[in-house]
């Protein structure tokens, strides 16, 4: 049974047309992450939520935004997709039971959304 669910699995959008990707989890994890992965590259962290606190990576473009209305759901909004934003977008979750400590945090990934920009 999928514990981190991403929708849609495939998304096609037009250049400049806003798009929203969704992620939900049944694990009750307090941390949720959004990664971008391009072919033959490592997953690149865009931002994450620690509970309700949003943490943006310094090099994440302003074009990317995120919302976490509750523990279970997190959204990735791409305001004006460009051709360079075509990629696999991965949502992941983890539980940090020991804030400030070296937690043995395993991240669980959703199946990803593959975004194409025409």
Partner 1 sequence: RKEVEQDPGPFNVPEGATVAFNCTYSNSASQSFFWYRQDCRKEPKLLMSVYSSGNEDGRFTAQLNRASQYISLLIRDSKLSDSATYLCVAPSGAGSYQLTFGKGTKLSVIP
**Binding flags for partner 1, 55-94, as an x/- string (CB under 8 A):** ---------------------------------x-x---x
C-alpha dihedral sign at 47, 104, 106, 88? positive
Choose the binding region for partner 1 from 11-19, 63-71, 72-80, 96-104 (rule: CB under 8 A): 96-104
Scanning the structure block, which residue is given the tokens 């990735």? 76
Structure letter (DSSP) for residue 117: E
Nearest Cα to Cα of residue 96 among 19, 38, 41, 29: 29
In the complex with partner 1, the residue whose CB is nearer, 79 or 109, is 109
Strand pairing class (53-56; 44-50) = antiparallel
Candidate list 62, 69, 83, 104; residue touching partner 1; CB under 8 A: 104
Sheet bearing 4-7, strands edge to edge: 4-7, 19-25, 73-78, 64-67
Please list every residue from 28 through 57 that binds partner 1, using CB under 8 A: 31, 33, 40-43, 45, 48, 50
For partner 1 (CB under 8 A), the number of binding residues is 27
Task: Enumerate binding residues for partner 1 (CB under 8 A).
Answer: 31, 33, 40-43, 45, 48, 50, 88, 90, 94, 96, 100-112, 114
């Amino acid at each position: 049974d999928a514990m981190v669910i991403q929708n849609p699995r495939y998304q096609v959008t037009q250049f400049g047309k806003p798009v929203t990707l969704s992620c939900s989890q049944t694990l009750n994890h307090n941390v949720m992450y959004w990664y971008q992965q391009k072919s033959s590259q490592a997953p690149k962290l865009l931002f994450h939520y620690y509970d309700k606190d949003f943490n943006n990576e310094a090099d994440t473009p302003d074009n990317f935004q995120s919302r976490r209305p509750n523990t279970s759901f997190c959204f990735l909004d791409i305001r004006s997709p460009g051709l360079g934003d075509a990629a696999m977008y991965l949502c992941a979750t983890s539980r940090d039971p020991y804030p400030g400590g070296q937690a043995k945090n395993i991240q669980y990934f959703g199946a990803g959304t593959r975004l194409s920009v025409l």
